[in-house]
């Protein structure tokens, strides 16, 4: 990395963190520290909600996913705008009416303490583990590509976040996230423009898009009804709606963002702003990945994007085989590039027969090239049994490091760090507020002073932060656990959403009925996960529907018949 | 029942348009995006 890149990276991060600490330098009471003191306007809320959801993996893996699998992933977000409308109407007024600190606090008033603490516990379990992964996932990619120490990368990211989160609480998080989100969106827009400029000058943008479409990268909408297909229009609309309802409506890391708004109107507007911008933002990130794909149709790509693993394979007993495959890959690339220029020529001539013939040749050439890459992955797996052969996560960062100009590299690294820090910061404040409000203040230390709870919140924020960094440091030893953590969210969200739905709509159902319904429904969701291959987006629908139906059933069974007077 | 100031806050109109108007804009934008993406899929398949 050049000195200019370092300057851009550290300058951006220091300015944002410094601003967040400076803005929140005054002494805060508990409401100010945990809820932000009702000061934020709608644009701060909207950007903060978006920054909380956008982790570093969003910017590292999503372009790689488009490179590998095309843009179908965008369907995952189709339910989100509708969920923002539903949350604005149903959830926001209720939270504001009761002036709650956490989403779970609302459940005690409506049901009982055990239901409140069950949902708080589910949140702490799932979010506590995933905070470590939020640090680890980008750190492993950054350290591999940049040659940095993995543990130092985890420690650097974690300690900066702990510093400003402990110092300024929720308001520091919102204030920094606003600027982090601007850097993220601006950085990706710059990346897009620079990548398009790096395409061959003879190739028009229109033809670049046509090539991406010919090679299957623009199959965006899938209307099939197959429940095991991960991303379809229907799973995106329905499953995505329930997932977004659960995530934005009941996950404290999100609820805390819009509870800090000046008013209900500002809070609602912030959520609607998120609903309006989310799909265009994801489209931009995925389209950047598609343009990187087109770039590598005209510039020789590596046979395997994780260069560290590739170097290890070259140093192994399979080096000869690897070398042969790389030569075959280069030859296949040259052949494909020639076919692509034929297609470009046919497109310029607007001759439909020639275009169809050239498209067929390009697809065959791409299939041949993909087969060689697949063989290389098998060779790497044989040579290095512990190596991961999925290299999509490394595509974007290795492209950035090799091909983008000085300064832009630093800006995109700042994007990735901003994303990691903003997501972790929200998680830490949410974990701390849930621990203090739902557990510590409610059950362990009921009548302490306001200053005591602020000190406790700071300690819990730091404690959860240290735990997240430790978990991230040891995560490389626990690969299977990481997968489990990633699935964990989808396993619990539907059930938690169901509890809130019962709270809002089934007014006669009481605590014990909904508590039992939640336990049974959770067992059902886990069974579906273990015994079927139903896509995880449907777990949210199944869990929520099961809680609502069972609670209604158990609620009506437990009500004693009364004699009419 | 919420008290009067809380009630007023609940009923507060947005600074522009109306809540229904904003919800309709969001839903129509989503519909437009889905149609646009379906068209891109069909054109480049």
The DSSP call for residue A40 is B
Q: Which residues have C-beta within 8 Å of that of residue A232, sequence separation ≥ 6?
A: A75, A222, A223, A224, A225, A226
Q: Which residues partner with A40 through β-bridges?
A: A261
Buried b (16+ CB within 10 A) or exposed e, A250-281: bbbbbbbbbbbbbebbbbbbbbbbbbbbbbeb
A contacts of B45 (beta carbons < 8 Å): 213, 219
Task: Give Rg (Cα) of chain A.
Answer: 25
Q: Which two tokens stand for residue A467?
A: 């735990």
Contact A172, A26 (CB under 8 A): no
At B17, phi and psi to the nearest 5?
55, -150
The DSSP call for residue A444 is I
For tokens 């609607």, name the residue. A272
Domain boundaries, chain B: 16-45
Q: What is the pLDDT of residue A292?
A: 95
Q: Which of A250, A379, A370, A251 is nearest to A313 (CA)?
A: A379
| Total length of chain B | 45
Of A212, A219, A221, the CB nearest to B34: A221
Q: How far is the C-alpha of A311 from the C-alpha of A78, rounded, in Å?
A: 41
Q: How far is the C-alpha of A145 from the C-alpha of A401, rounded, in Å?
A: 8
Instruction: Give SS3 for A449.
Output: coil
Q: What is the 3-state secondary structure (H, E, C) of A316-363?
A: CCCHHHHHHHHHHHHHHHHHHHHHHHHHHHHHHHCCHHHHHHHHHHHH
Higher pLDDT, A548 or A393: A548
Instruction: Give SS3 for A191.
Output: helix
Q: Nearest C-alpha of chain A: how many angstroms from B39? A: 9
- Kindly report, residue by residue over A495-505, the tens digit of the pLDDT: 999 999 999 88
B contacts of A223 (beta carbons < 8 Å): 38
Helices (H), A251-318: 252-259, 264-298, 307-314
Q: Which two tokens stand for residue A216?
A: 């299957």
Q: Which of A128, A169, A124, A104 is nearest to A454 (CA)?
A: A169
Q: What is the pLDDT of residue A513?
A: 92
Q: Which two tokens stand for residue A318?
A: 């399979």
Higher pLDDT, A540 or B23: B23
- Kindly report, residue by residue over A389-428, the tens digit of the pLDDT: 788 888 888 898 888 888 988 998 888 888 888 889 989 9
- Kindly report, residue by residue over A510-544, the tens digit of the pLDDT: 889 999 999 999 999 999 988 888 877 788 889 99
Which whole-number Å values give the CA distances from A390 to A286, A376, A380, in the listed order?
A: 18, 11, 11
Angle between helices A205-214 and A352-383 (to 10 degrees): 60
What's the mean pLDDT when you consider all of chain A? 88
Is residue A441 scored above 70 in pLDDT?
yes
Angle between helices A537-558 and A479-505 (to 10 degrees): 40
Q: For residue A565, what pLDDT band results from cuts at 50, 70 and 90?
A: very low
Mean pLDDT, residues A52-69 taken together: 87
Q: How far is the C-alpha of B28 from the C-alpha of B26, rounded, in Å?
A: 6
Q: What percent of chain A has pLDDT over 70?
A: 96
- Kindly report, residue by residue over A469-491, the tens digit of the pLDDT: 998 887 766 555 555 565 677 78
Q: Which of A290, A187, A218, A282 is nearest to A244 (CA)?
A: A282
Q: Nearest C-alpha of chain A: how many angstroms from B5? A: 11
Q: What is the pLDDT of residue A435?
A: 95
- Which residues of chain B from 5 to 44 reach within 8 Å of chain A, CB to CB? 6, 9-10, 12-15, 19, 22-23, 25-27, 29-30, 33-34, 37-38, 40-41, 43-44
At A230, phi and psi to the nearest 5?
-65, -45
- Kindly report, residue by residue over A217-227, the tens digit of the pLDDT: 999 999 988 87
Q: How far is the C-alpha of A509 from the C-alpha of A267, rounded, in Å?
A: 29
Interface touch A88/B23, C-beta < 8 Å: yes
Q: What is the pLDDT of residue A296?
A: 95
Interface touch A276/B29, C-beta < 8 Å: yes
Please give the interface size between A and B, counted as residue pairs whose CB atoms are below 8 Å apart.
72
Q: Which residues partner with A261 through β-bridges?
A: A40
Q: What is the pLDDT of residue A556?
A: 79
Is residue A153 scored above 60 in pLDDT?
yes
Q: What is the pLDDT of residue B5?
A: 58
Mean pLDDT, residues A56-76 taken together: 89
Is residue A287 scored above 80 in pLDDT?
yes
Mean pLDDT, residues A293-301 taken together: 94
A contacts of B19 (beta carbons < 8 Å): 88, 268
Q: Nearest C-alpha of chain A: how many angstroms from B16? A: 10
């Amino acid at each position: 990395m050049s000195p200019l890149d370092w300057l851009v990276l550290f300058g951006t991060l220091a300015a944002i963190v410094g601003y967040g600490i400076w803005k929140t330098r005054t002494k805060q009471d508990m409401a100010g520290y945990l809820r932000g003191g009702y000061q934020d306007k709608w644009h701060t809320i909207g950007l903060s909600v978006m920054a909380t959801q956008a982790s570093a993996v969003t910017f590292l893996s999503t372009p790689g996913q488009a490179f590998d699998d095309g843009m179908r992933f965008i369907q995952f977000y189709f339910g989100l705008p509708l969920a923002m409308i539903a949350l604005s109407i149903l959830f926001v007024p209720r939270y504001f009416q009761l002036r709650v600190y956490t989403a779970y606090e609302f459940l005690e008033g409506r049901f009982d303490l055990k239901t409140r603490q069950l949902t708080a516990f589910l949140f702490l379990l799932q979010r506590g583990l995933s905070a470590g992964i939020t640090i680890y996932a980008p750190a492993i990619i950054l350290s591999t590509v940049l040659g940095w120490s993995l543990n130092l990368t985890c420690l650097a990211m974690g300690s900066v976040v702990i510093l400003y989160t402990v110092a300024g609480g929720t308001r520091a998080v919102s204030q920094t996230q606003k600027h982090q989100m601007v850097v993220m969106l601006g950085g990706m827009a710059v990346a897009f423009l620079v990548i398009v400029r790096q395409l061959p000058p003879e190739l028009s943008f229109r033809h670049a898009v046509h090539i991406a479409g010919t090679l299957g990268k623009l199959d965006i909408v899938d209307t099939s009804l197959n429940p095991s297909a991960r991303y379809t229009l229907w799973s995106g609309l329905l499953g995505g709606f329930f997932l977004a309802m659960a995530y934005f409506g009941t996950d404290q890391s999100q609820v805390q963002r819009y509870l800090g708004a000046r008013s209900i109107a500002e809070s609602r507007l912030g959520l609607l702003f998120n609903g309006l911008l989310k799909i265009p933002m994801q489209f931009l990130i995925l389209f950047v990945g598609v343009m990187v794909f087109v770039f590598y149709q005209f510039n020789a790509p590596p046979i395997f994007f994780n260069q560290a693993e590739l170097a290890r394979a070259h140093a192994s007993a399979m080096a000869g085989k690897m070398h042969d495959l790389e030569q075959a890959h280069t030859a296949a690339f040259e052949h494909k590039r020639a076919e692509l220029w034929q297609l470009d020529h046919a497109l310029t001539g607007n001759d439909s027969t020639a275009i169809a013939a050239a498209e067929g040749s390009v697809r065959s050439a791409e299939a041949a090239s993909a087969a060689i890459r697949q063989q290389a992955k098998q060779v790497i797996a044989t040579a290095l049994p512990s190596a991961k052969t999925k290299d999509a996560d490394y595509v974007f960062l290795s492209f950035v490091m090799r091909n983008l100009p000085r300064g832009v590299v630093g800006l995109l690294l700042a994007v990735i760090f901003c994303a990691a820090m903003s997501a972790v910061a929200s998680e830490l404040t949410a974990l701390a507020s849930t621990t203090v409000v739902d557990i510590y203040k409610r059950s362990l230390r009921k009548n302490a002073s306001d200053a005591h709870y602020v000190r406790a919140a700071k300690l819990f924020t730091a404690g959860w932060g240290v735990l997240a960094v430790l978990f991230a440091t040891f995560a490389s030893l626990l690969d299977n656990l990481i997968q489990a953590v990633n699935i964990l969210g989808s396993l619990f969200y539907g059930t938690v959403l169901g509890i809130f739905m019962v709270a809002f709509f089934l007014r006669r159902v009481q605590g014990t009925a909904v508590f039992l319904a939640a336990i049974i429904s959770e067992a059902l969701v886990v069974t579906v996960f273990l015994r079927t291959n139903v896509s995880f987006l449907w777990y949210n629908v199944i869990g929520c529907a099961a809680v609502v139906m069972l609670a209604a059933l158990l609620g009506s069974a437990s009500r004693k018949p009364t004699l009419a007077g | 029942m919420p008290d009067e100031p809380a009630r007023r806050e609940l009923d507060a109109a947005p600074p522009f348009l109306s809540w229904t108007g904003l919800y309709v804009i969001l839903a129509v934008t989503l519909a437009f995006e889905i149609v646009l993406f379906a068209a891109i899929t069909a054109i480049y398949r």
